[in-house]
Amino acid sequence: MPEARDEEVGRRLFQIHKEKAVEVALEKMRRKMPSEWKSFTSTDIDVLKHILGEAWVCIKRSDWEGISFAKLTKDDLEEIIVVAKQVSSKEKPEKTAVDEVCAAIIAKE
């Protein structure tokens, strides 16, 4: 295979792993708080997915696997969503937001 094709396959595989890790984390949160989960809008979930995906990129895989996503509370998720929305509205740089989110979710270990 040409080198460019290999790189594209690698990028796509990375994206698939990131999406899967985020979906697993979201499912753990959903199961922990089914009634509270319903209070989040689809926009909330979308920005949460995005910021968690960016956090996944920055956290060692072994550390990510050790994070207790089920320990996150509705308040924790609301705070993460606020930070993620600040990125969307350009109020906060993404790197700063991702660092804050990483610290918040790692603290729940």
Cα–Cα distances (Å) from 42 to 12, 52, 99, in that order, read 25, 15, 24
pLDDT of residue 1: 53
pLDDT exceeds 90 at position 25: yes
Q: Please report how many Cα atoms fall inside a 13 Å half-sphere around the Cα of residue 1, on the Cβ side.
A: 8
pLDDT of residue 108: 72
- Which tokens is 54 given? 């960016």
**Mean pLDDT estimate for the chain:** 93
Say which residues have a Cβ less than 8 Å from residue 66's Cβ, sequence separation at least 6.
Answer: 109
pLDDT exceeds 60 at position 11: yes
DSSP secondary structure letters along 88-102 = HTTSS-HHHHHHHHH
pLDDT in tens, 36-79: 999 999 999 999 999 999 999 999 999 999 999 999 999 999 99
